[in-house]
Amino acid sequence: MSHHITDHELIEKIKKGDQASFTILVNRHKNYALTIAKRIVLVQEDAEEIAHDAFVKAYTSLGSFKYESKFTTWFYRIVVNMAISRGRKKKLDVIEISEGHSDFVGDSGTAELDTKDRNYYLNLAISRLSQDDRLIITLYYLDELDMEEVAAISGFDKNNLKVKLHRARKRLGEILKVIMPTELESVVH
């Protein structure tokens, strides 16, 4: 039943004091909120705190929610702002990775990575991008949001977002070339 009710309907119930509706809303959006926060701050524990705090802030701010946009756009903007704020307060160590690629070579002498490994190295490459680039790549490619939603959540000008996305994708490609050049070459050709 909870899948058939819209976020806007849940918000109306929450405003009338229905705590169960807030639980449904949290369960519906917690994984995505955590993903966005983690892409920005890179630390699981910090991302969990940010997601929790964002839900608390959203709950206390539901009175200011305007039904002109999706709840997700409004809420994920809260997550992004909180994560960026946390990131400014805390310096992150950059993970250095070895340039040796012998682990990637299978018995046949060619690079072989399974889906799990590819995802690992893709996430590692994404983690090496700037905060803005990680956010844009995550929202557009991994979460498959349209440009308008990415602009609303990220706060970037919609007209400039395509350029930022193109540059972020290019930087991601350069990082992937360093991390896994043989595998990347086999995927491209």
pLDDT at residue 104 tops 80: no
Instruction: Give residue-wise pLDDT tens across range 137-175.
Output: 988 888 888 999 999 999 999 889 999 999 999 999 899
Q: What is the DSSP string of 86-100?
A: HHHHS--PPPP----
Which domains, from first to last, does the chain contain? 7-89 (1.10.1740.10), 102-188 (1.10.10.10)
The predicted-structure confidence for 63-93, as pLDDT tens digits, reads as follows: 889 888 899 999 999 999 999 888 776 644 4
What tokens appear for 163 in the block? 């350029």
Q: Is the pTM of this model over 0.75?
A: no
Angle at CA of residue 82, ends 76 and 96, nearest 5°: 100
Q: Alpha-carbon distance 41 to 177, whole Å? A: 24
Amino acid at 124: L
